[in-house]
Amino acid sequence: MTDTWQKITAAIRELKDTSDYDREAELEDVKDSLLEERNREIEEATPRPQCCEIGKTYQAVFPALPVAAVPDPDLTPMWFTLAGGMRTRVPVAFCPFCGAKLPGFRKKADPPPHLRRVEFPEDRDETHCHTCGRGWCCCYCDPPWNAWEIDE
Ligand SMILES: [Zn+2]
Ligand SMILES: [Zn+2]
């Protein structure tokens, strides 16, 4: 079965190759709606705290890796929230809404098949995701923490 990730990869490949203007416009639309679908899938696969309704749904507490860490699905994620006019990510150990201790993480038995993998050489700007070949800032793979689920 072809999944959304594979469909996007095929659309991008065909976009690169086509010189037909109408086909190009059509493929851009297809790609955009597939990317929307992909964002939904990524969101569904993202671990969330389950302590309270607002923690579950508001997404102000989210899993991520420390900024300096290489995007690697084998690294255990941490919980973060946004502060300083929502621009700064700060690690949190407790839910900012209900005060509950945030859960730990365990590797999913069945992680998403297309996880972002990056190795940082000296020049980060030249770095690409090894899974899809796109710039790692804007790739459509699952972020590495989607390989994890909450461990209650
Ligand atoms: Zn909570
Ligand atoms: Zn990727």
How far is residue 53's CA from residue 91's CA, in Å, rounded to a whole number?
Answer: 20
103 and 143 fall within a common domain: yes
CA of 5 to the centre of ligand 2 (A): 9
pTM for this one? 0.88
Of the listed ligands, the closest to the CA of 130 is 2
pLDDT value, residue 134: 86
33 and 51 fall within a common domain: no
88 and 106 fall within a common domain: yes
Of the listed ligands, the closest to the CA of 144 is 2
Segments of the chain scoring below 50 in pLDDT: none
Phi-psi region of 28 (alpha: psi -120 to 50; beta: other; left: phi over 0): alpha
Whose structure tokens read 């690697």?
72
DSSP 94: B
Number of domains in the chain: 2
Cβ neighbors of 11 (< 8 A, separation 6 or more) are 27, 30, 31, 34
CA of 111 to the centre of ligand 2 (A): 15
pLDDT value, residue 90: 92
| Full domain range(s) for residue 74 | 46-151
40 and 84 fall within a common domain: no
pLDDT value, residue 124: 60
Of the listed ligands, the closest to the CA of 115 is 2
pLDDT value, residue 138: 78
18 and 54 fall within a common domain: no
pLDDT value, residue 119: 76
pLDDT value, residue 101: 97
8 and 27 fall within a common domain: yes
34 and 50 fall within a common domain: no
36 and 61 fall within a common domain: no
pLDDT value, residue 77: 96
Query: CA torsion 92→75→36→27, rounded to 10°?
Result: 150
117 and 105 fall within a common domain: yes
53 and 32 fall within a common domain: no
**Structure-block tokens of residue 37:** 């679908």
CA of 125 to the centre of ligand 2 (A): 15
CA of 93 to the centre of ligand 2 (A): 29
Distances (CA, A) of 58 to 16, 39, 49, 53: 38, 16, 10, 8
CA of 26 to the centre of ligand 2 (A): 23
Which of 138, 82, 79, 146 is closest to 112 using CA atoms?
A: 146
pLDDT value, residue 135: 80
pLDDT value, residue 93: 96
How many C-beta atoms lie closer than 10 Å to residue 70's C-beta? 14
9 and 30 fall within a common domain: yes
pLDDT value, residue 8: 96
5 and 15 fall within a common domain: yes
pLDDT value, residue 123: 60
SS3 for 129? coil
